Chain A
């Protein structure tokens, strides 16, 4: 198993659909993250979970809903998205908790989302 696994790798959805992105880490880390990479901007932090508790919601619209049932799994639930939400969504994990850097971040391969 690779360190951080994301599924699906590609997703096409209409604006009225509901879908979910899944992330699983096999590194024994305590923190997990969702980052967004769009064509016109640098990578942006969306959500942070530390020991299954959300510690950051970086002004992300409510049509994105994260869920972290345990320290190994992270979901991003998607509903009524807009075409401008099309991007590569990257999951990451790191060893640390609390404030500060949290240690080195390890990323998954990403889920390429296209909203029609």
Chain B
């Protein structure tokens, strides 16, 4: 069974710092990897989707990389802001032949950016 681990579990930084959030998965046979953001009491907002054939994706101050063979992904947040405070979740989708839309989630990294 696919296991997804996110490190660190929590992170507290001052505004302006560049951050790296880590995600690892045990089975490299993935179809894609998705990073989400979750604010307290809210649903999930998709940030970036990386297909298994891709190495990275960028959106604004966010950059996600994927090393499928080693089972790792990183989410890089540049010039962090207090509004970035949230829980960041990493999820992988199993390879073709698996159940449609089955994502395996990590427990998340709870990020706090203070002014």
Contact = CB atoms under 8 A, between A and B. Distances in A.
B76 to A, nearest CB: 20
Interface string A95-116: 0111111101111111010000
Interface residues of A, number: 30
A56 to B, nearest CB: 5
Contacts of B91: 43
A31 B102 CA distance: 11
A48 B89 CA distance: 21
Interface in A50-77: 50, 55-56, 58
A99 B96 contact: yes
B25 interface: no
A42 B4 contact: yes
Interface in B63-96: 89, 91, 93-96
Contacts of A56: 99-100, 102
Contacts of B98: 99-100
B100 A31 contact: yes
A104 B49 contact: yes
B52 to A, nearest CB: 9
Nearest to A94: B101
Contacts of A33: 101
Nearest to B33: A101
B43 A110 contact: yes
Nearest to A4: B43
Interface of A: 4, 6, 31, 33, 42-43, 45, 48, 50, 55-56, 58, 90, 92, 94, 96-102, 104-110, 112
Interface of B: 4, 31-32, 34, 36, 41-46, 49, 89, 91, 93-107
**In the complex, the 7 A-B pairs of residues with the closest C-beta atoms, listed nearest first:** A107-B44, A101-B93, A101-B31, A43-B105, A109-B43, A100-B96, A42-B105
Given A98-B100, A101-B32, A105-B103, 6 more contacts: A6-B43, A42-B105, A48-B99, A56-B100, A92-B44, A104-B32
19 contacts: A43-B89, A43-B103, A48-B101, A56-B99, A58-B99, A92-B44, A96-B100, A97-B100, A99-B96, A99-B97, A99-B100, A100-B95, A101-B31, A101-B93, A101-B94, A101-B96, A101-B101, A107-B36, A107-B46
